[in-house]
Amino acid sequence: MRLVSLELAGFRGFANEQTFDLNADAVVVVGANGNGKTSLFDAILWAISGCVPRLGAKDSVIVSAFSETGKARVVLRLKARNQRPLTVTRVFDGQETRVSVETVDGIFHGPAAEGRLIELIRPEAATATSPANALATALTQCVYLQQDLLRQFIDSVTEQERFNAVSELVGAGRITDLQLDLAKEKAHWTRATNTRNDESLMLRSRLELVESRLAEMKSRSAQTDGGIDESAWQSWWRRLREIGIGTSPVRMDSREAASVIDSVIKQLEVARRSAERRLQNLDALGRDLAGIASMPVPDLRSMSETVSVLTKRVEDAREGVSHEQARVTEVRRLQAELKEKSAQFRALATIALKQLEARCPVCDQEYDVLSTRRRLERIATASETSTAPPLPDALPDLLSTLAARERELSGAELALRTAKQASREYTTTELDIERRFIELGLKWMPISDRNSSVRDAIELTRSQVAGFADAQKAGELFALQLSRTGVQLAIQELQREREVTLVRLHEEEDEIKRRTATGDDAQKVIEALRTVALGVVADRVKEIEPLFRELYSRIDVHPAFRIVRFLASVVGGRGRLSIIVNDPVSGIDRDSPATVLSSSQMNALAVCAFLSLNLGLSQPPLEAAILDDPLQSLDDINLLGLVDLLRRTKDQRQLCVSTHDVRFGNLLERKLRPRSSEQRTIVIELDGWSRTGPVVTTREIKSDPVPIRLVGSETNAA
């Protein structure tokens, strides 16, 4: 099946209606990035499969933002050799997708159209879980090499996904699907078997419980074979009255005996538990009495008087220190004044010595100059401390005494606070003990008599607990003896339940064995299907591998790793398909090409894998190879090899190649030109994109009978 024509309206980059003639051996689409090359090829994929997987599951992404109708419409015409064209029309109106297929047999719509399309293009996909996805996978793996998913097959997808994709291409997809579906069902089957196994374990636990209860009932039945003694019965009722249980006695052969016994046993249980709680409270009270007896009672009055005396002493010491500090301050003030006067006298004497003459310069009288000079010299040379009185040494002693008394006071205050806290605790404990005396019904009495009162209450309560326990034990024995008939009925019921449970358990175990055997058989089938799928894929990739190697060598991807091959295997119960690159000189293999190849070399390897799958399949979904702008992913060296591959591919497949580079477009135009009048090459140019879409120019390349000539440089020519 080959491409004939394509009509677009409102699809991605094409808002207005455009028609493309694709009925040629080679179609070269040239246009700058963003002008609609990928949209054109996506329309082919969407028309056939109803989806563009890399854009996601929502069809709304395919509608042009500038579509006048808000719809996306694609009409694709296909034609098989010597047959009438097949027309596929697919429309998405924003809510739902409608599809119709026109064939020589008529026009089909909806699911019937989808089924007819798959039947004509890829019959193997009809039995897949999702036929549309299976068809889309086949198209994107060997027909349409998408620009942004160029390396996905060899780099991004897992080895398992690669195996499944190749399985779909080589016709083993349904085997793989069946194996995977059977594996899922087997997992469900195993979970259900495990659930039933858990249920059988529960039945076995129930059986063990029933058997345990049955053994207990038989033991109790054996213990009650002696019957009830009349005197013991009457004695028990008298004992009940003595210990305060006021239930009226009944005859042991009366119908009410069993229910009355049960009621009395419950009363005894309540009374015993109440007495045990009282005994626990009395024991705790006795311990607290012993504790409070050992607690010291401090003399707060004497300690408070001591604190008062020490406080008075500290205040007296502080007052003495204050008086002494005031006196020292006054002495220091007098010393300062004397020092200032002495300094003034020395200054006056020094000035007067300089002014001495025969007569007094002040009063102009005669005086004894010599004696006056001597006196002034003594004053001028007198020391500063000669007139200062000495400071007393009493202040340090007073401060030391004050510090000692303050420490003594702090210790006394701490002791007083501690004593007060102990006194409060003593009082609190005393009040608590008094409250508990009252709650326990004991009479509050002096300290000396409390311990004996509590001990007497403890002994009495212990006696009551023992009496209640003995009466309860005897009552339970009477109840057991009275319930002999009931025990026999219970034994019979447990025996019936045991028999029913045994039957159900045997049935469940037999069913589990059958299910386990079925699961083992299913696993054998899964293993066989896995082996068959692996064998089919391995055989087909071996057939494709020589072509893969040839294409790889023609592009000359790597100078050392010059050999490439496929490796099919099973790991963890799932098929794996690896791509191996080999250096024949050193013998080094790499199952992860990305570790030794550059990005451009990886892209070249991806193109080789794509073309080998396309050309290696005897019945591909379309007899076409669509490459979306491979130039963007290859360097110049690999690109020349690619052009040579495309030229050879054109003879076997309808070739559709897009490029953003005008020079590369011209090269493709030259290399892919018709070599006879029966061949046809079309160039589609997309230019000047606007909101309505690009400007489309289509021209046909005429055949050129002159073979391609290589023109060398003048140097080489010389």
- What does the pLDDT look like over 14-72, one tens digit per residue? 989 999 999 999 999 999 988 988 999 999 999 998 888 878 766 667 888 888 888 99
Question: Residue 36 burial (CB < 10 Å; 0-12/13-18/19+)?
Answer: buried
Residue among 327, 309, 328, 324 at smallest CA distance from 397: 324
Q: Is the pLDDT of residue 717 over 50?
A: no
pLDDT at res. 72:
92
- CA terminus-to-terminus distance, the chain: 51
Place of tokens 């027909």: 143
Regarding predicted confidence, which is higher, 649 or 687?
Answer: 687
Neighbour-count burial of 128, counting CB atoms closer than 10 A to its CB (0-12 exposed, 13-18 middle, 19+ buried) = buried
For residue range 493-506, list pLDDT tens digits in order. 888 888 898 898 89
Calpha distance 535→524 (Å, rounded)? 16
**Above 80 in pLDDT, residue 169?**
no
396 pLDDT more than 90: no
pLDDT tens for 244-261 read 887 788 877 677 777 888
Least confident of 25-29, 295-299, 326-330: 295-299
Q: Which of 542, 545, 540, 538 is nearest to 563 (CA)?
A: 545
Which residue reads 């294409």 in tokens? 551
Torsions phi, psi for 672 (to 5 deg)? -100, 15
**pLDDT tens track for 57-70:** 666 678 888 888 88
Distance of CA 495 to the CA centre of its chain: 52
Strand order in the sheet with 574-583: 563-571, 574-583, 588-590
Confidence of residue 536 (pLDDT cuts 50, 70, 90): confident
Each residue's pLDDT tens digit, 116-158: 888 888 877 777 777 888 888 888 878 888 876 656 666 656 7
Decide if 211 contacts 501 (C-beta within 8 A). Answer: no
Please check the confidence at residue 89 and state whether its pLDDT lies above 90. yes
Residue with tokens 């009944």: 250
Domain boundaries, the chain: 1-143+629-705
Tokens of 672: 């892919």
Per the CB < 8 A criterion, the answer to whether 199 and 512 are in contact is no
Show Cβ contacts of residue 288 under 8 Å, excluding neighbours closer than 6 positions. 429, 432, 433, 436
**186-195, 303-312, 431-440 — which is least confidently predicted?**
431-440
Per the DSSP assignment, residues forming a β-bridge with 31 are 686
162/316: higher pLDDT: 316
Residue 715: per-residue pLDDT: 38
Note the pLDDT of residue 595.
84
Lowest-confidence range among 10-24, 331-345, 547-561?
547-561
The residue that leads in pLDDT, 292 or 110, is: 110
Contacts of 221 (CB under 8 A, 6+ apart): 484, 487, 488, 491
pLDDT at 483: 65
Q: What is the 3 state secondary structure string of 122-143?
A: CHHHHHCCCHHHHHHHHHHHHC
Average predicted confidence (pLDDT) for the chain: 82
Average pLDDT over residues 588-615: 82
- % of the chain exceeding 90 in pLDDT: 11
CA dist., res. 368 & res. 376, Å (int): 12
> For residue 486, is pLDDT > 80?
no
pLDDT band at 636, cuts 50/70/90?
low
- Hey, which bits of 24-85 come out as E strands? 26-31, 72-79
Non-local (6+) Cβ contacts of 235 within 8 A are none
Q: Taking residues 268-274, what's their average pLDDT?
A: 88
Predicted confidence at residue 713, as pLDDT, reads 40
Specify whether domain 1-143+629-705 bears CATH 3.90.1150.10.
no
- How much is the pTM? 0.53
Q: Which two tokens stand for residue 102?
A: 């026109």
